[in-house]
Amino acid sequence: MFLIGSHVGMSGKEMFLGSVKEALSYDANTFMVYTGAPQNTRRKDLSELKIPEAKALMKESGIEQFIVHAPYIINLGNAVNPSTYELAVSFLEKEITRSAGMGSRILVLHPGSHVGEGAQIGIKKIVEGLNQILSADTPVYIALETMAGKGSEIGSRFEELAEIYDKTVHSEKLRVCMDTCHMHDAGYDVTHDFDGILTAFDKLLGISQIAAVHLNDSKNPQGAHKDRHANLGDGCIGFEALSYVAHHPALETVPKILETPYLPSPEDPKKKVPPYKEEIQRLREKV
Ligand code: FE
Ligand code: FE
Ligand code: ZN
């Protein structure tokens, strides 16, 4: 089955049930949620998320898996400010519990930024954090996202992710989330050579480690290190290449998640509407 969905919201009265309904409104069969606002750490209790109702609707409509994204303010790589790092560790522990409670096996995490100390110090700090958090009993996988390399982000090269794997004691709890916009911005040739990317990834980490794909076009040329997502076909990667990634046989069981920007509404250009229903349809039809 072609696993395709998008990032969806979780708010209001319906919370997680609303997330599932939103995914279904796009004809998606998987999706991704943040457990609250991605830019802060305020979170509702699991009991308020309408989890049983959401799970019942997923079962009824054949959605078997979804993924959770940790908030991007979490920075395990900060070796300068102990309170940032401590917050990252304690919050990530809670996100693991929340993700498992909601029924997700995958928690996507931006590895972190070294904030000027250099990649080696950043990687050391990230590994320290993962070693503090992960145990043999951790109920979800932490999927490290491939990053665009803007600012001092770690994880724009597969080598850096491989180094994190090598030094993490419970690396069996790690996975990778490949973001096509980020890989392109990091310098990988998603447009012409996705198979070459997979070969390079396989040598360093193993294709079986890919647990999710973020399917986005990029507003900037290859290697720009900018991280600005574009709608499929409106960016520098192009629809054909993104459709090739989406339908790649090596990634058949991996959820593909759109994080493309909202578009101005045709009725009211001041209003923004999600592009996901149309993008999912285009991907299914490959046109
Ligand atoms: Fe992300
Ligand atoms: Fe992403
Ligand atoms: Zn991004």
| Distance from the alpha carbon of residue 39 to the mean position of ligand 1, in angstroms | 12
Per-residue pLDDT band for 37 (boundaries 50, 70, 90) equals confident
Kindly list the protein residues that place their beta carbon closer than 5 angstroms to ligand 1, a single-atom ion. 145
Full 3-state SS string of the chain: CCCEEEECCCCCCCHHHHHHHHHHHCCCCEEEEECCCCCCCCCCCHHHCCHHHHHHHHHHHCCCCCEEECCCCCCCCCCCCHHHHHHHHHHHHHHHHHHHHHCCCEEEECCEECCCCCHHHHHHHHHHHHHHHCCCCCCCEEEEECCCCCCCEECCCHHHHHHHHHHCCCHHHEEEEEEHHHHHHHCCCCCCCHHHHHHHHHHHCCHHHEEEEEECEECCCCCCCCCCEECCCCCCCCHHHHHHHHCCHHHCCCCEEECCCCEECCCCCCCEECCHHHHHHHHHHCC
| Distance from the alpha carbon of residue 110 to the mean position of ligand 1, in angstroms | 6
Nearest ligand by distance to the CA of 227: 3
Q: At what angle do helices 158-167 and 119-133 cross, to 10 degrees?
A: 40
**211 near 176, Cβ under 8 Å?**
yes
List phi, psi (to 5°) of 266. Answer: -60, -30
| Distance from the alpha carbon of residue 214 to the mean position of ligand 2, in angstroms | 5
pLDDT mean across residues, the chain: 97
Average pLDDT over residues 31-43: 89
Q: What is the pLDDT of residues 89-116, one digit of tens each?
A: 999 999 999 999 999 999 999 999 999 9
| Distance from the alpha carbon of residue 198 to the mean position of ligand 3, in angstroms | 20
| Distance from the alpha carbon of residue 182 to the mean position of ligand 3, in angstroms | 6
| Distance from the alpha carbon of residue 72 to the mean position of ligand 1, in angstroms | 7
List phi, psi (to 5°) of 153. Answer: -60, 135
Kindly list the protein residues that place their beta carbon closer than 5 angstroms to ligand 3, a single-atom ion. 227
| Distance from the alpha carbon of residue 269 to the mean position of ligand 1, in angstroms | 27
| Distance from the alpha carbon of residue 177 to the mean position of ligand 2, in angstroms | 8
| Distance from the alpha carbon of residue 26 to the mean position of ligand 2, in angstroms | 19
Average pLDDT over residues 176-192: 98
Q: What is the pLDDT of residues 130-154, one digit of tens each?
A: 999 999 999 999 999 999 999 999 9
| Distance from the alpha carbon of residue 38 to the mean position of ligand 1, in angstroms | 10
Give residue 39's pLDDT.
83
**56 near 50, Cβ under 8 Å?**
no
Give residue 65's pLDDT.
97
Residue 149, burial from CB neighbour count under 10 angstroms (0-12, 13-18, 19+)? buried
Per-residue pLDDT band for 29 (boundaries 50, 70, 90) equals very high
Nearest ligand by distance to the CA of 184: 3
Euclidean distance between CA atoms 237 and 10, whole angstroms: 30
Per-residue pLDDT band for 241 (boundaries 50, 70, 90) equals very high
Q: What is the pLDDT of residues 245-266, one digit of tens each?
A: 999 999 999 999 999 999 999 9
Per-residue pLDDT band for 274 (boundaries 50, 70, 90) equals very high
Closest to 22 in 3D by CA, of 255, 262, 274, 281: 274
| Distance from the alpha carbon of residue 109 to the mean position of ligand 1, in angstroms | 7
Give residue 36's pLDDT.
85
